[in-house]
Amino acid sequence: MLEINNLNVKLKNSDKEILKDLSLLIKPGEVHAIMGPNGTGKSTLSKAIMGHYNYEVTSGKIKFMGEDISSLDVSDRAKKGIFLCMQDPTVIDGVSNSEFIRTAKSEIINEKVNLYTFIKDMESAMDDLSLNKNMLHRSLNKGFSGGEKKKNEILQLKVLKPKFIILDELDSGLDVDSLRIVCKNINDYLEENKDTSVLIITHYPRILEYIKPNYVHILNDGNIKYTGDMKLALEIEKNGYSMINEMIGNGVNE
């Protein structure tokens, strides 16, 4: 599904290198989690996969379903089925939430979406997420609470139906009940779309108890330093990241 080989990414118009020789292989239907200290490059990885204009790939490749997408722009990557649930979703004043999602959907399926069926689908998806329907007609993310922004990202996911989902700190801002509801919606989607793969960026194992990962990677200083499974996420919560240095020092998981 997604194959990243020796990826180096720097900030555009700066010498700052963020990702250093990072490689990652995600097969269809797999769930991978990435954890790691603040400022180590997790969101940069998600933006580099999505093709954010601020980040420049200096070497290495990102392949999606066998095709090198490194030079495609964001909208072409979205059309191919890549979806990023952003850590900090952007406010777009003056563009209503429904207009935004309907336009995105029309672009992705390459035909105009019927307004009546669209509104019906949106309302049913909003019920699934316990989202207030007035949010359909408000400006995108304007005045949305932290949790509402995250739920609204998952509303987009339900409508746009991606093949590859990146969740960048979906759990930050969601209360315990909302996290459960949102994860149920994602799991239902994965149940119906078994080839869909997920990359979950998180600081806490709780979300991984709902959406079970096949692999847990630890990213530090722009590279994956260690790979394990759910047990690793629980150990990190208990002992912090210093244990990773000790494990690498002992030659474990080289």
Ligand X SMILES: Nc1ncnc2c1ncn2[C@@H]1O[C@H](COP(=O)(O)OP(=O)(O)OP(=O)(O)O)[C@@H](O)[C@H]1O
Which of 36, 61, 28, 42 is closest to 165 using CA atoms?
28
Question: Judged by CB, which is closer to ligand X: 39, or 240?
Answer: 39
42 makes contact with ligand X (CB under 6 A)? yes
Dist. CA 46–CA 30, nearest whole Å: 17
The two tokens of residue 217 are 């990677």
Size of the site for ligand X (CB under 6 A): 12
Dist. CA 35–CA 244, nearest whole Å: 12
Minimum CB separation from ligand X for residue 120, in Å? 36
Q: Provide the β-strand partners of residue 85.
A: 167
Q: What is the largest CA-CA distance in the chain?
A: 61
| Binding residue for ligand X, selected from 31, 43, 48, 213, defined by CB under 6 A | 43
Question: Judged by CB, which is closer to ligand X: 196, or 202?
Answer: 202
Site for ligand X in 154-193 (CB under 6 A): none
220 makes contact with Mg ion (CB under 5 A)? no
Question: Judged by CB, which is closer to ligand X: 2, or 18?
Answer: 18
| Binding residue for Mg ion, selected from 40, 43, 152, 185, defined by CB under 5 A | 43
Which option in ligand X, Mg ion, none does residue 196 bind, with CB closer than 5 to 8 A by kind? none
18 makes contact with ligand X (CB under 6 A)? yes
CB 230 within 8 A of CB 196: no
| Binding residue for ligand X, selected from 39, 143, 146, 240, defined by CB under 6 A | 39
Minimum CB separation from Mg ion for residue 41, in Å? 9
Alpha-helical runs (H) found in the chain: 42-50, 74-79, 97-109, 115-128, 146-160, 176-192, 206-210, 230-239, 242-249
Which option in ligand X, Mg ion, none does residue 38 bind, with CB closer than 5 to 8 A by kind? ligand X
- Under DSSP, the state recorded for 169 is S
Dist. CA 111–CA 84, nearest whole Å: 22
Which option in Mg ion, ligand X, none does residue 102 bind, with CB closer than 5 to 8 A by kind? none
Q: Which chain residues interact with ligand X by CB under 6 A?
A: 11, 18, 36, 38-44, 54, 87
